[in-house]
Amino acid sequence: MRLLRSLYIQVLIAILLGACVGHFRPESGVALKPLSDAFLKLIKVLTAPILFTTLVAGIGSVGNLRKVGRVGLKALLYFEAVTSIALVLGLGVVNWIRPGAGLHARPENLDTGLVQGYAAAAKKFTVTDFLFGIIPDTFAGAFTSGEMLPVLFLALLVGIAVSRMGDRARPILELVHTMGEALMGVVSMVMRVAPLAAFGAMAFTVGRFGVAGLLSLGSLLACVYLTCAVFVFGVLGLILRLNGFRLLPLLYFLREELFLVIGTSSSESALPRLLQRMEELGCSRAVAGLVLPAGYSFNLDGTCIYLTMAAVFIAQATDTVMSWGSQLALLGLLLVTSKGAAAVSGGGFVTLSATLSATGTLPVAGLSLLVGVDRFMSEVRAVTNLLGNAVATLVIARWEGALDLEKARPVRGSGSDRNPPVSAR
């Protein structure tokens, strides 16, 4: 009975039950989708104010704007380096295994109606739209748009202004800190219904797309899962080891968040709790509040792997010849377009559609090949995105001396106390 009180056990049971309902009663499974939608809507309502209060309190308390700028610059450089590795890894695996070879799909015979909405959104979405989208139309609009970058932008401005007020800012910081604690209390209440959300989401996925759709493109699905596993245990594991941490203890520490992401197929569902968990692990509030929200827009490692593999898969499936030169050009294009994957609803598909259009050679109609299995791939993408941002926060906090090594003991490796940075907490 005590084991059943654990959130991750409850979510795991809910995922299994949801899969059974979706398989044996598909219509009932599809009808359960509102359970997941309602939960994700609640989380999105709370995410923006939590990010705002966390970042304002963190920056305002630091009082050193150079440090904030230094953290931001390190984070962006780290994001670009790691996402580039993810893109290259995806490109290498998809060329090695060639999951699309032999399908011989003709673009003119594909059902383009399935992807017309994504293609239309991709045409409307430009770099200028992305940049102007960072600036909200109104102050309140940043909290109602559902995007994180406008909230991050406003929080940076307010946090900098508060930090320049000196002692006069103390009442403001106390108020913001208290509001943040109250919001996290609301998150704790909402998380009690997380198993219901996971149950509804999994029942819908299996009921809507079925096992047959999963098996039809099983080779691509296996490639994506394999590549994400190599990235997590190889790349992220190596980054952690080089900085004195261990991957497996971190996976155990974040087990509840990971199962929640698997159940809901969304890494955003765990963002509020992830902020809290990284602070529990010793990361300073300022670093966690800056790196995590930025990472959810610029450090989508799982999405980068998926974009590369999906684009080349479509080329292989439609017998579109791509030389290594054109594949490298595709890689360079994805280095830019992948950064906008979180800026619009259905970002992965919209970004992929925009990328295919920009190449001028890959058929956008090929997206219809992925519709049936995209939902099954979203789980591994979301898990990889979450872990990538957790690792980034932990590593950058240590680089900045903003990590309480005693609190981080559960994930530290042997010898990690050698020349430790001075804790900022």
DSSP per residue, 160-190 = HHHHTTGGGGHHHHHHHHHHHHHHHHHHHHH
Best mean pLDDT range from 79-88, 141-150, 184-193, 411-420: 79-88
Q: Are 260 and 194 in contact (CB under 8 A)?
A: yes
Give the Cα separation of 84 and 102 in Å (integer).
Answer: 29
pLDDT class for 102, splitting at 50, 70, 90? Answer: confident
| pLDDT value of residue 186 | 86
Give the Cα separation of 266 and 229 in Å (integer).
Answer: 18
pLDDT class for 348, splitting at 50, 70, 90? Answer: low
Q: How many other β-carbons are positioned within 10 Å of the β-carbon of residue 5? A: 8
Structure confidence by residue, pLDDT tens digits, 363-399: 777 777 776 677 778 888 889 999 999 999 999 999 9
| pLDDT value of residue 311 | 87
| pLDDT value of residue 425 | 38
Q: How many other β-carbons are positioned within 10 Å of the β-carbon of residue 91? A: 22
The answer on pLDDT for 421 being more than 50 is no
Query: Mean pLDDT over residues 141-151, rounded?
Result: 77
Best CA proximity match to 289, nearest among 80, 79, 47, 65: 47
The answer on pLDDT for 208 being more than 60 is yes
Query: Mean pLDDT over residues 227-240, rounded?
Result: 95
Residue 78, token pair as written in the block: 């780290």
In the block, residue with structure tokens 């030169």: 325
Query: Mean pLDDT over residues 308-315, rounded?
Result: 88
pLDDT, averaged across the chain: 80
Q: How many other β-carbons are positioned within 10 Å of the β-carbon of residue 147? A: 18
Structure confidence by residue, pLDDT tens digits, 398-407: 998 889 999 9
| pLDDT value of residue 420 | 47
Positive or negative CA dihedral for 171, 173, 179, 184? negative
| pLDDT value of residue 392 | 95
pLDDT class for 125, splitting at 50, 70, 90? Answer: low
The answer on pLDDT for 306 being more than 70 is yes
| φ/ψ of residue 403, rounded to 5 | -125, 130
| φ/ψ of residue 283, rounded to 5 | -75, 140
> Helix, strand, or coil here: 412?
strand
- Least confident piece of the model among 169-173, 338-342, 364-368: 338-342
Give the Cα separation of 425 and 412 in Å (integer).
Answer: 18
Structure confidence by residue, pLDDT tens digits, 19-77: 888 888 888 888 988 888 888 788 878 888 888 888 788 777 766 677 778 888 899 89
Give the Cα separation of 350 and 329 in Å (integer).
Answer: 19
* List of domains in the chain: 3-411 (1.10.3860.10)
| pLDDT value of residue 364 | 74
The answer on pLDDT for 157 being more than 80 is yes
The answer on pLDDT for 132 being more than 60 is yes
| pLDDT value of residue 215 | 58
Residues 6+ apart with CB under 8 A from 207: 21, 22, 23, 25, 26, 27, 28, 29, 30, 32
Residue 90, token pair as written in the block: 């995806």
Structure confidence by residue, pLDDT tens digits, 248-301: 999 999 988 898 888 877 777 788 889 889 999 999 887 888 888 888 878 888
| pLDDT value of residue 419 | 44
Give the Cα separation of 334 and 311 in Å (integer).
Answer: 10
Q: Enter the pTM of the model.
A: 0.80
| pLDDT value of residue 345 | 42
The answer on pLDDT for 109 being more than 70 is no
Query: Mean pLDDT over residues 314-328, rounded?
Result: 84
| pLDDT value of residue 343 | 43
Q: What percent of the chain has pLDDT over 70?
A: 81
In the block, residue with structure tokens 């996976």: 251
| pLDDT value of residue 247 | 95
Residue 60, token pair as written in the block: 């305002």
In the block, residue with structure tokens 């691509």: 220
Give the Cα separation of 27 and 7 in Å (integer).
Answer: 28
Best CA proximity match to 57, nearest among 169, 143, 135, 185: 169
